[in-house]
């Protein structure tokens, strides 16, 4: 544990973040986009815990943030599923390319 500095962990979290973004930009299925969002949120959690552990070991604030983020991520995932189901009912497809009502 001594040789792993914070930058290593930040490398992991940054890479995870960008992988999640790639999934967000590229995937055509709405549910897979949701999965990519979960990956992003995950990376943020790792970030918080890493900062808490390496820079502020006496406090617990990062832990609390992580707890709350997990909670809210759950709620948000549920909401997203509900919206996807609703959209599926009207478009009969969950391809995000089909939901282009905002087009000019």
Residues 54-83 that bind another protein (CB under 8 A): 54-61, 63-64, 66-68, 70-79, 81-83
Contact between residue 39 and residue 96 where contact means Cβ atoms under 8 Å apart:
no
Binding mask of the shown chain, residues 26 to 45, with x at each position contacting another protein by CB under 8 A: xxxx-xxxxxx-xx--x--x
Shortest Å distance, C-beta 65 to another protein:
9
* Alpha carbon distance 80, 7 (integer Å): 33
Q: By rule CB under 8 A, what count of residues binds another protein?
A: 82
Per CB under 8 A, does 91 bind another protein? no
Per CB under 8 A, does 89 bind another protein? yes
Contact between residue 5 and residue 21 where contact means Cβ atoms under 8 Å apart:
no
* Alpha carbon distance 33, 15 (integer Å): 17
Contact between residue 47 and residue 10 where contact means Cβ atoms under 8 Å apart:
yes
Per CB under 8 A, does 49 bind another protein? yes
């Amino acid at each position: 544990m001594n040789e792993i500095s914070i930058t290593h962990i930040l490398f992991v979290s940054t890479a995870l973040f960008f992988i999640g973004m790639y999934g967000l930009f590229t995937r055509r299925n709405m549910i897979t986009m949701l999965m990519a969002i979960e990956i992003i949120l995950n990376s943020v959690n790792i970030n918080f815990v890493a900062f808490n552990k390496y820079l502020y070991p006496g406090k617990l604030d990062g832990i609390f943030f992580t707890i709350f983020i997990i909670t809210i991520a759950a709620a948000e995932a549920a909401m997203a599923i509900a919206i996807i189901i609703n959209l599926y009912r009207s478009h009969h497809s969950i391809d995000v390319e089909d939901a282009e009502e905002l087009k000019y």
